[in-house]
Structure 1
Amino acid sequence: MKVAILVDGGFYRRRALLLFGEKKAEDRAKELVEYAMRHLRQDKKDIQEELSLYRIFYYDCPPMNKKLYHPLLKKQIDYGKSELYTWMTIFLDALKEKRKVALRMGNLSEEQAEYGLRYDVLKKLCNGTISVERLTEEDFGLSVAQKGVDMKIGLDIASMAYKNQVDRIILISGDSDFVPAAKLARREGIDFILDPMWANIKPNLFEHIDGLTSRVAKPPNNEKDSLFSLTK
């Protein structure tokens, strides 16, 4: 049984930070591959069948490399010289060196990037709980959209299904945008497994997948991020 593992990069990095803590870029890249391989090792035990890795596909965008004006600090922030830019560059380079790992890169809408108040802070500001003078840098978040990532995931799923390149697809993601591609893959006879890494997913997604599992221990006392593991 040939297995392809697809990783929504932005989603994985957020969940990995919550579940595994902060790590150096090289260590996070190594961790990602090891996490993906857990599926093959555990599934081999569960179904008593020989599994082979077709490829690990990693979908993400290069880090932002532009200057952006911060409304509170009243100065330009150079993201090309930020710690995040350096970390992401090393992380992506480390993944490129991994065997059977293919990167599928989209783009960031840098021209539309902007700072905005976090929703909870905006509510406090509007109801008078806090004043403008009490705002801090942490109250602002950077909003920048990805382009092309979801499309590449869908195209790769469709391509592998139509060409009969794999028998099973494992998608590490929590996004519902994959549903049309998942339905297509299942119609072509592909076993489609979703790994949301214990993140909440919409209940109606269950009808469009063949299995749901997370290959990491459930976060303790965190009902907001909890989700039971099952195989349909």
Structure 2
Amino acid sequence: MARMAILVDGGFYLKRSKSLKGVKTPSARAEELVQYCKKHTEHEGADLYRIFYYDCDPIGKKAFHPFLRRTIDLSKSDDFKWKTEFFKELAKKRKLAIRKGEALEGSCEYVMNRSAMKDIATGKRDADSLTEKDFCLDVQQKGVDVRIGLDVALIAHEKFADQIVLITGDSDFVPAAKYARRHGIDFIIDPMWHNFRDGLGIHVDGMYTPWANPKRHKTV
């Protein structure tokens, strides 16, 4: 039986799972992640080598919110508490390794989200219509992509697994995918129904998302 390594871009998975399956407790989301990965092994008839989860610790600094016009202590926020507990739950899971990058606290700030910016730029809305929900915390990460690339190369070079599934919405992984394929790895991408650029299929051996496509189940 083939062995499968599953690499998860944590920030991407949390956004997509929330969008597709709604809000969950840290414990429920962690269990959901494990079961989601197992669907990949079941689909391919493979044995799980290990799940690698890549993300950064939550930011605990203070940041100014331009809409509320006050400074917010992020270490006391619900998001900080949720993610801290989520990491604790992940650490309990069998065959799951956590790879942490670094969140650049100097880049942490509240910014207007893209949807609101587009609406204002096109004249659909004006500044007076903005609400707190139109702003989000922008945090730049360092080291996550590098760790994913290094692990892909190591798994391929040392033959730790026969298949690699990468759960991500980032197409910058292509060089790592090419390296793995040259070493005989069956490389599968799971975009969780996120739109990828055209032509991506030539760089991987397959694309598969276990959950049903939400666009096929929308009602008018």
> TM-score under structure 1 normalisation?
0.88
What residue in structure 2 maps to residue 226 of structure 1?
none
Q: Distance in 2 between matches of 1:67 and 1:142?
A: 11
Counterpart of 1:23 in 2: which secondary structure? coil
User: Could you tell me which residue of structure 2 aligns to residue 23 of structure 1?
Assistant: 24
3-state secondary structure, aligned to 1:185: helix
CA deviation string 1:164-223 (max 9, x = no partner): 111110111121011000000000110101111111111221111001111111103589
Gaps of 5+ in 2: none
Shift of 1:37: 0.5
Instruction: Give distance in 2, aligned partners of 1:126 and 1:14.
Output: 25
- The AA in structure 1 aligned to 2:18 is L
Aligned to 1:188: 183
Name the aligned partner's letter for residue 34 of structure 2: V
Change beyond 3 A, Cα 1:130–1:219: closer
Percent of counterpart pairs with the same letter? 48
- Secondary structure at 1:53 match in 2: strand
| 2:207 partner letter | L
**1:207–1:116 Cα change, 3 Å:** same
Matches of 1:204 and 1:220 in 2, distance apart?
21
CA RMSD of aligned residues (A): 1.7
Q: What amino acid maps onto 1:156 in structure 2?
A: D
Distance 1:42 1:132, change over 3 A: closer
| Partner SS for 1:203 | coil
Segment of structure 1 superposing worse, 165-174 or 113-122: 113-122
Query: CA separation in 2, counterparts of 1:15 and 1:130?
Result: 27
- Where structure 1 has 5 or more consecutive residues not aligned to the other structure, the ranges are 45-50, 224-232
> Aligned partners of 1:209 and 1:7: how far apart in 2?
16
* Alpha-carbon distance between aligned partners in 2 of 1:122 and 1:104, rounded to the nearest angstrom: 33
Once residues 54 and 127 of structure 1 are traced to their aligned partners in structure 2, the CA distance between those partners, rounded to angstroms, is 49
Counting matched residue pairs gives 217
